[in-house]
Chains A and B, each alone.
Chain A
């Protein structure tokens, strides 16, 4: 089901310019898109592209796709991380194009996009 609340996120990803909802009242970004600003309950939300820089907060190397999304079962080992974006939000994402054992907390990453057989998703690459 397509929701008014979430579809702009996926449209921004498709345009390779990921945007997140930002509150017009308190100025905070949030992720994932929710019906109101979860901080101040304002519904004055606007979509704003992110800069794309972030750092790894935590990470895991998945070596057995336990209950995971079908497409990922064929991609093990893969890294799932929680990324803190410079906009002050944390989101989940895959760190790719580096050895899976090289990912560490605090590592600087930058946003990119990758086409998989099940669709285009935002991903993160080691920065620099």
Chain B
């Protein structure tokens, strides 16, 4: 290992609806904002890691970003492994290249126009956009929601829980956070009665257990410590990361305790030389409420089946014992693939999170899962240069 790397710029578009703009337009806006935030000349970007639209898939997406923004990077790649793990993987790739002296400044970007450009009659991401092997699932009326509902049902059965105790407090905690984020799409306060009145989608999930898709994009700039020291910005250092892939479609999922999340977390903490007790805040890819339960428990922040109780007691609040997704997460900010989870962690570590600022935030964990916990990832970031 060399000297490591630091995130030195972040940028995000408004989340919501951007009719008339495609994913590329949104991503270019996010990159411009991230570069401006870093205060660095665009000519210094020598690496580009991008992920294109799932709603309107295109080929060679990284080259589109490069061309639209007039960039001339030495390294470019598309990383497509799903929910937040894609961005953790981008960081791991950029880190390795920085360590090897192959680049000094990379930009990582994702965004989609999933709300305004989805096909008529569909809601969110339809199964064939991501799951593959759809011949053996889609034909039974499956979808992304159905896949996660199957995992969530198994979770409830395993620990003897009801959705109202396990999942409702998580939905409420994320919404409370979104009320403190003026770039969240769902800011109307909700209570347990709203949760109970929310219609079933695929049991045990009600609508409020599911993240709504939005249009939006985010980008961040990662640089060598040498470059970071020359910038007028609070750097946030990479401390460690880990990931673990196990399957693709839900039919082939390991049981909840055997998902890759625990292993991913162990690797990230080992690399960083930290333990869960050192973490001041956590961002979790939360396509569904159950995603938070499974992730928080697998990473060792609480015992199996205990996350709902932790949320009920206020523990997941930005002012609680284990702040989770102070920006509102996918559940209430809106689904931008988990890219904004990286940006929120950086914002919190800089102390720039305004009314939802976590006190004395020095270490943040970011975690996510691609597809149906098919690949799990975790990453640790720290305030300042390591």
Contact = CB atoms under 8 A, between A and B. Distances in A.
Interface of A: 6, 31-32, 57-69, 71-72, 75, 78, 80-82, 90-94, 105, 119, 121
B143 A105 contact: no
15 contacts: A6-B135, A60-B202, A60-B204, A62-B146, A66-B144, A67-B123, A67-B145, A69-B139, A72-B141, A80-B142, A80-B150, A81-B150, A91-B136, A91-B251, A105-B154
A68 B147 CA distance: 11
B252 interface: yes
Contacts of B316: none
Contact of A82 (B139, B141, B250): B250
A68 B146 contact: yes
The winner among B126, B150, B207 for most chain A CB atoms within 10 A is: B150
A63 B205 CA distance: 10
A57 B62 CA distance: 41
Interface string B173-207: 00000000000000000000000000111111101
Interface residues of B, number: 37
Contacts of A6: 135
B331 interface: no
A80 B140 contact: yes
Contact of A57 (B154, B199, B203): B154
Given A31-B136, A63-B199, A66-B201, A58 B145 contact: no
Contacts of A72: 140-141
B32 interface: no
A68 B143 contact: yes
A64 B251 CA distance: 21
Contact of B127 (A61, A68, A93, A119): A68
The winner among B125, B126, B145, B153 for most chain A CB atoms within 10 A is: B153
Given A32-B251, A64-B199, A58 B151 contact: yes
Given A32-B136, A82-B250, A62 B154 contact: no
